[in-house]
Every structure is written in structure tokens, then in C-alpha cells.
Amino acid sequence: MRYFKDQDNKVHGYDETNPAQIPFMDRAIAAGWREITGEWPPTETVEQTQTRLSASLTSAINDGAQEWGYDDIVSAVSYVTSTNEQYVKEAQALIKWRDDVWAWAIPALANVTAGESAGQFLANMPALPPKP
């Protein structure tokens, strides 16, 4: 991709390997748009990385609850007061796992670097325990 800023500071990206986009890129150059390839997209800040990784953790926790047959973690833990003993055990196990994940994640998030991949980060997350 090649990126250009127009006179209004709007960023436009063109795929130079796509023949249909070459005329657009040529017009951008002819119009004097400043090429910012190498500057764009801007580097993610540590705070943006932490926010993105927190969202990935929430998604992973919901995925774990779904593996056990629940809609999400909120649905799963709502069974902690169920009259069905199996549901109570599952809810308690998922609550403990969720707590373990966040107990691990909070200090780990403090040590992330800008742009760290979710895959790298989640690789160290406490594993979903076996279903009771």
C-alpha cells in the first residue's frame, strides 16, 4: 500500500499492485498530495495496545464460556445460584478461571509494548480448565 495526504489532511491508501487503483494514485501524485507511506498507519501507542489486548482477553474469556455451551461468560456465571448442581460447579469453575485470567493479565498488561500481538499475549493466558 502507498498512502497519501490530500490538501485537507485526509489519508488515502492505494494498492499499487492493483491495476485499477493506479490511475487514482497517479491523480494523487499529480494533485501534489504528500506521500506518507512509511508514516502510515501510525504506530499504535502502549495505551492503544493495552486496550486492544484487554478486548482480546474479554473475547477469549467469552470463547471459553462458549466452549462449555454458554452464550458468554456473563451467562455462564449467572448459573452460580442455580438449583442444578452441575451448573453451579461449572459457573464456579468459570468464575475462578476468569479471576485467574485477570489476576495474570493486569500485571502482564502493564508490561506490554506498543503493537504487541494478541497471539503473543494470549499465549501466556491461564488455560481454560477441564469442565467439572
pLDDT > 90? residue 106:
yes
CA–CA distances in Å: residue 51 to residues 3, 48, 114, 121: 26, 5, 11, 13
Query: What pLDDT is stored for residue 10 in this prediction?
Result: 94
Average pLDDT over residues 7-25: 93
What SS3 class is residue 13? strand
Per residue in 22-51, pLDDT tens?
A: 999 999 999 999 999 888 877 888 899 999
Query: What pLDDT is stored for residue 43 in this prediction?
Result: 80
Query: What pLDDT is stored for residue 15 in this prediction?
Result: 93
Cell digits for 68?
Answer: 462449555
Q: How sure is the predictor about 103, in pLDDT bands with cuts at 50, 70 and 90?
A: very high
The single residue listed with the C-alpha cell 493506479 is 22
- Say which DSSP state 4 is in: E
Query: What pLDDT is stored for residue 20 in this prediction?
Result: 94
Per residue in 49-94, pLDDT tens?
A: 999 999 999 999 999 999 999 999 999 999 999 999 999 999 999 9
Domain ranges of the chain: 2-35, 46-122
